[in-house]
Structure 1
Amino acid sequence: MTPLQERFPPTMFCVGLLECPLDAVVEADRHWRAQIGRSEFCKLRCDLPQMLSRLEPLSGPKTRHLWIATHSKWTTYVDNFVIGSDPQSPIAYLSEILACRGLILSCRPNLNNRLFGQARFDLYGQPPVGLYNLSRSISATNDGGRWSWDTYGDPLPFEDLQSYENKSIRHRLTSEMVVRYARTLGANPFTEDYYCSVGCLVSKSNGFPSRTREVTFEESRKSIGIVRNG
């Protein structure tokens, strides 16, 4: 885990990205949200920890999400879902609407029975695309104690295909490999200095089902068993 993931679990275990400027992403999201319910959009100018703290409490269902500008062509998505960010719908839909590439990156650690691990790399919007604008997907997931291996689409030039032949599924795709693949595309979302101090907080303002659970980042760290240094 990176220091950023240790401080903001499980939100920063999985992120989405769109290869498009923040303002264009927010405008597209605003039009989309207007069709499916009422949402409030709040421009933020502060450092990354302050932005992420605005997601508290983490809840189920999710009620808030962030778009964050980066020092690259990519804009990052995270939300306050209590079991970790769930970027699939916004990245799949908005990458098609904006005609840009999208990424979903999961580097969830495997912590015995406290947290089931996953390494996942999804690329959207790069031809050829299939259902939901998906171009390529690779994942190694601990599904309740048993590891599963899933792939979709043609391998990309930078992939380590030899690693996929490993008999141990959990070692076919690691978090380090996901980070390396993302850096090849100019994205490095699991480190704090990758981010600018500009973002947008989107909050649902219409009715939604009763929240079944709410936790703070501190409570999440304790339940997972993360001990921060310093």
Structure 2
Amino acid sequence: MIFFENKYTPLTDSVYFLKADIKTVTDEFMKWQKPLEINKYRKLNIVSLKKDLESNLLELLPINVTEIRRFLFHGTTSDWTAMISNTILGTDGSAPNVLSDRLKCEMVRATNTDDATTFEFSNPNKETEEEQLRVVSAHIESRWEFHDYGKPLPFEDTKRYKTKRKIKDKIDSDLLIQYLNELGINYDKKDFYNPIDKIKALMVIKTGRQYDNDKNLSLEQAQNYHIR
């Protein structure tokens, strides 16, 4: 299953998960970003969201071409917080990686599109780089390519990487979901993104003037942006 059947691509092409509660993650993000505010006209505001995931995803609009201006931190029924941002290329991994390092918490990236399936697991508390980062990915560059890096996790079906003839079958949607389930992330279940708390998500919004070369796109415009 591709996340919500690609209905919200490119927003949901990659979803990041941080193993910390939503307030801890958002507070750390603000501690990191607040000192970087350019001036009093370019501020970071936090908005509380109380609806379901699909409704909250729409709060990420408009989609920006250049600058990330909206960061969604969504609660779940587990120890994980989902993170999605609002650029044309999908959620950028820079902020989740920084937060994982600052909080010393595990991070997971789930990329699931027609052209790529990627499972990435990071644990900054491990001693060696090989243990800190594990990536398994099948994706199209000029052709289908398969890559894996780091020490395999105990639950991985490593035989499959060697026995599946088609590269795109070495890791697919079903296997990605299986791996995420092993970590307590029910990625493809809507109920997973419906914690009992009244506030379901927090969104950080950059306000103020945009860069001159940036564009604000609707979801439909973003989905057709590279089609000329």
Residue identity matched to 1:67: F
Point out the more displaced range, 167-176 or 156-165: 167-176
TM-score normalized with structure 1 length: 0.83
Structure 2 gap ranges (5+): 38-42
Establish whether residue 184 from structure 1 lines up as the match of residue 182 from structure 2: yes
RMSD: 2.4
1:89 match: 94
Deviation, 1:84, is 1.7
List per-residue Cα deviations over 1:134-170 (Å, max 9, x = no partner): 4211111111x31222221101111111111133221
- The structure carrying a bigger strand percent of its residues is 1
1:155 match: 152
2:48 match: 43
2:26 match: 26
Deviation, 1:7, is 2.6
1:68 match: 74
List per-residue Cα deviations over 1:175-198 (Å, max 9, x = no partner): 211111001000023332211251
Counterpart contact for 1:16–1:104, Cα < 8 Å: yes
The equivalent position to 1:141 in structure 2, one of 120, 136, 139, is 139
Over 3 Å counting, the alpha-carbon distance change for 1:160 and 1:97 in structure 2 is: same
2:172 match: 174
Structure 1 gap ranges (5+): 110-116, 226-230
2:200 match: 198
Point out the more displaced range, 200-209 or 47-56: 200-209
Aligned pairs, number = 215
Over 3 Å counting, the alpha-carbon distance change for 1:140 and 1:169 in structure 2 is: same
Equivalent position SS for 2:12: helix
TM-score normalized with structure 2 length: 0.84
